[in-house]
Amino acid sequence: MHKTYISLLIIILINFQAQSQPRVAESPYEVNEELEISLGLIGAGITAYGFYKIGQKSGADSATVVNLSLEEEVIKMNRKYQPRYSEQANKDSDLFFYGSFPLPFLLLLDDNIRRDAGRISIMYIEALGLTGTMYTMTAANVNKFRPLVYSEEAPMSERTSSGAKNSFFGGHPSLTATSTFFAAKVFSDYYPERKGMHVLMYSAATVATLGNAYLRFKAGKHFLTDLMIGVPLGAINGILIPQLHKVRDVNHDKNKNLSWNFFTGNAHGFSVTYKF
């Protein structure tokens, strides 16, 4: 699966370079740097605190683990593919996870996009911070055993570790989705006319996200329902943050009743307005 993704990424980069044009276009985004750098740092801080809280969780003892019952503690939808454990799948999932983070910065190879490196970096930090906050604060406060805890093939040290309680929701695939769909969305906004590249970019994002989700599932890290929540959340955040920052053309806005704005001054925040 990861080989397919790497091959698709190479094809995209070749097409990306071949189709680059030496034109100067206005940025499709507007960013309130003073406010949004602060928001990004707050998101990063909350995420870091969430990881700290996750690290403070205690694992279950071996007696508790061996007496767990699938029938009593796992819903029917999640019992179908139990039990399972794969250390190789876990290692392979990290390729998607860590490999996805630098992908948006590859867009800076394009001259037009590179002019907005600061804006894109701020938006990317916001997107990761939003997903990271949602995941870490959820995992820190929800104790749900991973599927591998029910597998006799998994070493007892892992089944009893504190990390074995972090099944809800899928963090790896959600952050992978945020990074890859963010890259696809940004490229599409700069080059709306390149429909073929849009298909390639979103296809790569989908392959990376679902590939990561499948490997986390196979590794016994998450139940199906954990992935069904984590994947769309990550993808939505990756697309939503750039969309909220798009420069709005009041003469061609299809929905003039809906508007949003980041503001700063005596107060700081984000407002959404809909006129009926």
pLDDT of residue 74: 92
Which of 206, 235, 203, 208 is closest to 12 using CA atoms? 203
- Range 58-66, long-range pairs (CB < 8 A, 24+ positions): 58/162, 59/160, 59/161, 59/162, 59/163, 59/164, 59/165, 60/145, 60/149, 60/159, 60/160, 60/164, 60/165, 61/160, 62/156, 62/159, 62/160, 65/149, 65/156, 65/159, 65/160
Whole-structure pTM value: 0.82
pLDDT tens digits, 20-65: 444 445 889 999 988 888 888 898 899 999 999 999 999 999 999 9
- Which of 8-12, 31-35, 61-65, 139-143 is the least confident region? 8-12
Contact (CB, 8 A) for 234 and 177: yes
d(CA 223, CA 157): 20
pLDDT of residue 122: 93
pLDDT of residue 154 exceeding 70: yes
Q: Name the token pair of 271.
A: 């407002």
pLDDT of residue 258 exceeding 80: no
d(CA 5, CA 100): 11
Contact (CB, 8 A) for 179 and 125: no
d(CA 265, CA 252): 29
- Which of 78-92, 161-175, 229-243 is the least confident region? 78-92
d(CA 263, CA 35): 8
pLDDT of residue 17 exceeding 60: no
Contact (CB, 8 A) for 91 and 168: no
Look at residue 241 and give its three-state secondary structure.
helix
pLDDT of residue 250: 45
How many CB atoms sit inside 10 A of residue 5's CB? 22
Q: Name the token pair of 239.
A: 């697309």
Residue 257's pLDDT band, with cuts at 50, 70 and 90, is low
Helices and strands in the chain: count of H runs, count of E runs? 13, 2
* Between 258 and 27, the higher pLDDT residue: 27
Query: Across all residues in the chain, what is the average pLDDT?
Result: 85
Which of 239, 242, 204, 238 is closest to 13 using CA atoms? 204
pLDDT tens digits, 223-247: 999 999 999 999 999 999 999 999 9
Residue 249's pLDDT band, with cuts at 50, 70 and 90, is low
Which of 171, 175, 204, 209 is closest to 188 using CA atoms? 204
Residue 219's pLDDT band, with cuts at 50, 70 and 90, is very high
pLDDT of residue 269: 52
pLDDT of residue 164: 95
Look-up of token digits 């899928």 = 170
